[in-house]
Structure 1
């Protein structure tokens, strides 16, 4: 038989209210922490914190990539904070592309809603996995790996993405290389591109140096 004090402790833990919070709605007025946003006071939480309507709105593809990403991360959708999930909508005009990029903090599941998209990723051993996806097809991009999406065919494309983090992070390779003040000579050294090409790309992406 179990000792009486242990039984009393077990019974007390079963009958007492749980100390775990049901949610941690992001307080966007406070700075972020290494584990996400601070929690909004529960008395200030409303149903609007758990609703996001942006995924039904077509993104503006009038840009160099001919594509748009509408994020539903905790900074746009406070109810996601601390839950380990988020989402985004991807819109592609004809010829649209989301170039090589990575999400340092999340894996991604992409589902094609309309049109045709060529999508793939590169493993850490430099193996390449890519395929043409049609409506209803899905692909997963493991956390931290470089991946891309390209619209193909005669129709614009739309996809929905889900992530395994409320703030997956994003770094686009071309923007990281050519939209900053890193000296052109140094960029040439680390990319093996010639001077003319580096300066052309810096001009395209707004970099200096």
Structure 2
């Protein structure tokens, strides 16, 4: 039986494992086919291929990405699988997305600082290291400051929609993301559909 894992993140976005650590963990879990799908970036793909070759890992890598989009009033994530990681159309879209992520991170940092969390942007940036800053990095910074014990608690109090530290997003629309994934030869898949707070009508 072939074992697949088609949704994973590295430290190039909001994952906590490096490319090398993540790939070796996949092998330890007896995964055969593994997709790296970082948020709005393909930066991990080339290093992953190098690690697999250098360490002779028994793993088939699928180049992937998770693109944040807007649909109606919802933020919907679309996973692109088996994409060409050198496709100009997709890379151009992801570059624009990364600029939007930085703008959002600055706004989240501003809002949290205004509410007593001075220096929170810089603290989140230390967690992100050289990657783009995400809400997960702010969550880790807030947990370190003792305001909540875990991610759900932080998002419920500070980072969820309508909360003190929530920064509005300006992602591309869903159609644009799907079109770019298709142009890159990939398959577009709705990410974690069970997480969206929608009625069955909206889900359909």
Q: State TM-score, norm by structure 1.
A: 0.21
Higher strand share: 1
The structure with the larger Rg is 1
Q: State TM-score, norm by structure 2.
A: 0.21
Query: Higher relative contact order by CA 8 Å / sep ≥ 6: 1 or 2?
Result: 2
